Amino acid sequence: MENGKKVIIHAYKFDGQLYRTWEFPIVIKETDEYICVTIQGTHVITASNTDERFFHSKLVRPTIWYFFKNEWYNMIVSKKGNKFYYYINLASPFIIEEDVIKYIDFDLDYRVPDAKAGAINLLDLNEFHEHSVKYQYPEKLINKIKQVQSDILNKFNRHEFKHYLDYELIYYYDNLKGNKNKDDKTK
């Protein structure tokens, strides 16, 4: 995908239900390893108003999102004030159809609240257990997700994710957007 191209991102649940949409992120970098988009200024729409996380919002923090071509996760890097944090979302490898990046969300996430502090937190374990029953995740898939969790923790412990904390890229797009948002919060 070419730099500057506007795309749409769709996250699905295992049963094929569209779960969340990000409208018009901009591709900022593609390598053999990943596609990176900026999602600052994008609209986020949750598909179901019965979902406890139902919301429409606009992302205002400087944020980039890596979609890895050969991994079962993607990674969001965001700037809040003077700190950077990242969020790793366990997900299927993505596909692209008609400028839409699509993936299946497997509920589990890791959050690193301060990129320099060295702590990692597992999120949404209860949601994963509920959905593994509700959507009847096959045992093979559950084993793959457990393997991916282990891989993520090993990479974190070896500091491999810090490679993707591209501060210059985030600052560049923060300045490009004019840093109009002084309170640096998601609406």
- Per-residue HEC secondary structure of 71-112 comes to CCEEEEEEEECCEEEEEEEEECCCEEECCEEEEEEEEEEEEE
Q: How many helices (H) and strands (E) does the chain have?
A: 3, 11
58's tokens: 């606009």
Distance CA 15, CA 130 (A): 14
Of 20, 53, 61, 158, which residue is the catalytic one?
20
**Is 20 among the residues known to form the active site?**
yes
Residues belonging to the active site: 20
